[in-house]
A and B are shown apart, each in its own frame.
Chain A
């Protein structure tokens, strides 16, 4: 009996590790886009996964493991941002100051006759991440989950824990801010 329980626990731990291995890239990617730097990203991923492992008995087999981890990650990230006094938490109603075309013109790379989007994104990774970092947390999470992870509104709504209408409006506001920030690059 005891050995059966023991093996069940072992298989739980192994199953968890197996699921994490399957979704390593996505988990790290979302964390990185939320944090903007490697140190914070790795702290966030570790904290999230340890939290997820402790709560693994609540994970429903058959549901999406990565979505479940994103929800934990999002909450963990918000807690971390609140704990960190140096982080800037902006009100959703605050006016968002945008860069002028003249300010970002210095960063614009040389024009290509046929710009490769992937190459451009690689080149502009820094400025794009900076624009993401400047988004209010609620907008940022929605934009990352929608535009980087390509999740549906329904999935985002479950992860964030808000109605679909809120996801839709936050996504639009986040994208509008990003568009203004990246205007000079997007025109290339």
Chain B
């Protein structure tokens, strides 16, 4: 039992990780216990072997390819960041537009009357007289039975009177 406990501390002794008292106790035990002393020696030897192992050689182009992969990842990251930035800009603009639509109070509706287009014609008096003359129709007067004629230029004759035109 005592030997087991001491044996567990052999690695720590080797690495100088034991307290002074503990180390003294273990060294005292090692002086008497051949098994633990032998274990310590073997652990030390195998540790020394591990430390003396040669460095493994990588494939000829291994590091070149590794650095190339790292640069590819870097490019991908940059592209992704740019894409994300663009996407965020669009989302932000949309959010602002939506927020503006919701938050800004609506102004009363303003109705704009339709524009009326009117045709403007200019008539000179002579042409107008000729026009009015063409309105003259000869209608027999039924009541008189005579062959008298009446001017029935209607609106045209009224308009002519108003404008002091002589229509005969």
Contact = CB atoms under 8 A, between A and B. Distances in A.
Interface of A: 9, 13, 16-17, 20, 24-25, 28-29, 32-33, 38, 41-42, 45-46, 49-50, 53-54, 117-118, 120-122, 124-125, 128, 143, 146-148, 150, 153, 168-169, 171-172, 175-176, 178-179, 182-183, 185-187
Interface in B42-99: 42-43, 45-56, 58-59, 62-63, 65-67, 69-71, 73-74, 77-78
A182 B51 contact: no
Contact of A121 (B15, B52, B58): B52
14 contacts: A38-B56, A38-B58, A49-B69, A50-B69, A53-B70, A125-B53, A128-B53, A146-B15, A147-B50, A147-B51, A148-B50, A168-B12, A172-B11, A182-B42
A13 B74 CA distance: 7
Interface residues of B, number: 35
A16 B52 contact: no
Contacts of A171: 11, 15
Contacts of A186: 42, 45-46, 49
B131 to A, nearest CB: 78
B39 interface: yes
A172 B12 contact: yes
Contacts of A150: 51
B12 A179 contact: no
Contacts of A128: 49-50, 53
Contact of A185 (B39, B47, B49): B49
B64 to A, nearest CB: 12
Contact of A179 (B42, B53, B54): B42
B26 interface: no
A16 B77 CA distance: 15
Contacts of A46: 65-66, 69
Given A13-B74, A148-B50, A42 B42 contact: no
B10 A121 contact: no
B28 to A, nearest CB: 20
B15 A153 contact: yes
Given A117-B52, A153-B17, A175-B11, A42 B45 contact: no
B8 interface: yes
Nearest to B75: A13
